[in-house]
Amino acid sequence: MPRSPAPVKGVFQREDDPTGNWYARFRIDGKLVKKSFGTDRAAAIEYVEKARTLRRVGEGHVPKSAKGVPKIAKELEAVAVGSSVLVEELCDDLLRHIQSRPNVYKDQRNPPYRIGLIKKHFGHCPAASVRPYEIADWLDTLGRAPATVNRYKVTFSSIYRYGKQRDKVQVNPAHEVSQLKLNNGVIRYLKPEEEKRLRAVLQRAVDEWDPETRSAGSVSCTESTSSISRSERGCARESSTVFAGEISISPVVRSRCETRRTAQAGLFR
């Protein structure tokens, strides 16, 4: 039977609560503050111990209701600074940083343009008040290709990341915005002259093989891929070409495939 955890003053479970939730409680200025933490006992312990420490030291903020959060003096200072910093200031900071290092940031046109567009729409907002969904909604209104939208998202995140490095903000809402999926597949067809060169190379490779191997015959270009085994398809990738869904395999490839099947059969006898 597992040992019961050591009791912590101010952290308890109610006997009339069948869910087994953990509660934290303490007094501040004669008022009892009680808060539920669900099944997270560790969070309840951290909450009550931090509140008691702040009450004893006399620095920071001790909440007088369950809605409040205990905060040390440094956390209060960060909130005060973050609430007074506008996105406009963060944009200007990153822009100066980029423009002062042309050897590092080779592109001195696109990033400044994106920063300027972000500043135009969010510059008046307190940096700490911008929410991820606001950024996502704005990106949707750009009407640009997914790759371009992702670049704006990265620029937005860079603005906040640089601000965090300067202790001007403590959050990065752009980090919570998902990037769009990209489809970089390109369908390309051979030009007539490219096809001629490719056929010439393949024919030259076939002509250079041993005549005895070639005399065994060749696979017709009309043989469909469905009639070729999986191992033959793997071999075909080494020396084959596909035209209109049909595959042409040189005799040596067929010979290689037969050798491979023989070797595999010998291994599993």
Residue 79's CB: how many other CB atoms inside 10 A?
Answer: 14
Residue type, 122: F
The pLDDT assigned to 230 comes to: 45
The pLDDT assigned to 139 comes to: 95
- The pair of structure tokens assigned to 30 is 């004669």
Provide the pLDDT confidence category of residue 83 given band limits of 50, 70 and 90: low
The pLDDT assigned to 157 comes to: 95
Instruction: Name the CATH topology of 82-176.
Output: DNA polymerase; domain 1 (1.10.150)
The pLDDT assigned to 67 comes to: 81
Residue 232's CB: how many other CB atoms inside 10 A?
Answer: 21
Would you kindly state where each structural domain of the chain is located, as residue ranges?
11-71, 82-176, 192-267
Which residue from 125, 103, 98, 100 is spatially nearest to 113, judged by alpha carbons?
98
pLDDT in tens, 89-127: 999 999 999 999 999 999 999 999 999 999 999 999 999
pLDDT in tens, 243-264: 433 434 444 444 444 444 444 4
Q: Which residues contact 169 (CB under 8 A, 6 or more apart)?
A: 82, 85, 90, 127, 128, 160, 163
